[in-house]
Amino acid sequence: MSQWSQGRIAPHGGTLVNRLLQADPREYAHFPALELSERSYADLELIATGVYSPLEGFLGEADYKSVVEHMRLASGLPWSIPITLSVAEAEAPRYRSTVRLTRKGETVGLLEVAEQYRPDKQKEALEVYRTADPAHPGVAAILSQGEVNLAGRVSLFRLDRGEFPEHHYTPLETRRIFQERGWKTVVAFQTRNPIHRAHEYLHKVALEHIDGLFLNPLVGATKADDVPAQVRMEAYRVLLARYYPKERVLLGVYPAAMRYAGPREAILHAISRKNYGCTHFIVGRDHAGVGSYYGTYDAQEIFGAFAPGEIGIHILKFEHTFYCKTCGSIVSARTCPHDGAHHLILSGTRVRELLRSGASLPPEFTRPEVAEVLRAAYRDEAVRSA
Q: Where are the domains of the chain?
A: 4-156, 165-385
pLDDT at 385: 56
Taking every pair of C-alpha atoms in the chain, what is the biggest distance, in angstroms?
69
For residues 118, 115, 78, 156, the Cα torsion angle rounded to the nearest 10 degrees is -120
Q: DSSP class of residue 97?
A: S
pLDDT at 294: 96
pLDDT at 384: 57
pLDDT at 79: 98
Query: 4-5 and 8-9 as β-strands: parallel, antiparallel, unpaired?
Result: antiparallel
pLDDT at 137: 96
pLDDT at 2: 40
- Tell me the pLDDT of the chain (386 aa) as tens digits: 344 443 479 999 999 999 999 999 999 999 999 999 999 999 999 999 999 999 999 999 999 999 999 999 999 999 999 999 999 999 999 999 999 999 999 999 999 999 999 999 999 999 999 999 999 999 999 999 999 999 999 999 999 999 999 999 999 999 999 999 999 999 999 988 788 899 999 999 999 999 999 999 999 988 877 788 999 999 999 999 999 999 999 999 999 999 999 999 999 999 999 999 999 999 999 999 999 999 999 999 999 999 989 999 999 999 999 999 999 999 999 999 999 999 999 877 788 788 888 888 999 999 999 999 998 888 876 545 54
pLDDT at 17: 98
pLDDT at 4: 41
pLDDT at 130: 98
Return all residues near 279 (Cβ < 8 A) that are at least 6 apart: 9, 184, 185, 186, 187, 210, 313, 314
Paired with 4 in beta bridges are 9
The residues that are catalytic are 192-193
pLDDT at 349: 73
pLDDT at 224: 78
Return all residues near 225 (Cβ < 8 A) that are at least 6 apart: 352
* Amino acid letter, residue 8: R
The whole model's pTM is what? 0.94
CA dist 298 → 78, 124, 213 (Å): 18, 19, 24
Nearest to 345 by CA among 176, 196, 148: 196
The answer, yes or no, to whether the previous bond of 93 is cis (omega within 30 of 0) is: no
**H-helix or E-strand containing 381?**
helix 368-385
b/e sequence 288-308, b meaning 16+ C-beta within 10 Å: bbbeebbeebbbbebbeeeee
Which SS3 state, helix, strand or coil, does residue 35 take? Answer: strand
Q: What gap in Å lies between CA 192 and CA 239, rounded to an integer? A: 16
Nearest to 8 by CA among 312, 316, 315: 312
pLDDT at 80: 98
Architecture of domain 165-385: 3-Layer(aba) Sandwich (3.40)
Which SS3 state, helix, strand or coil, does residue 78 take? Answer: strand
pLDDT at 382: 57
Architecture of domain 4-156: Roll (3.10)
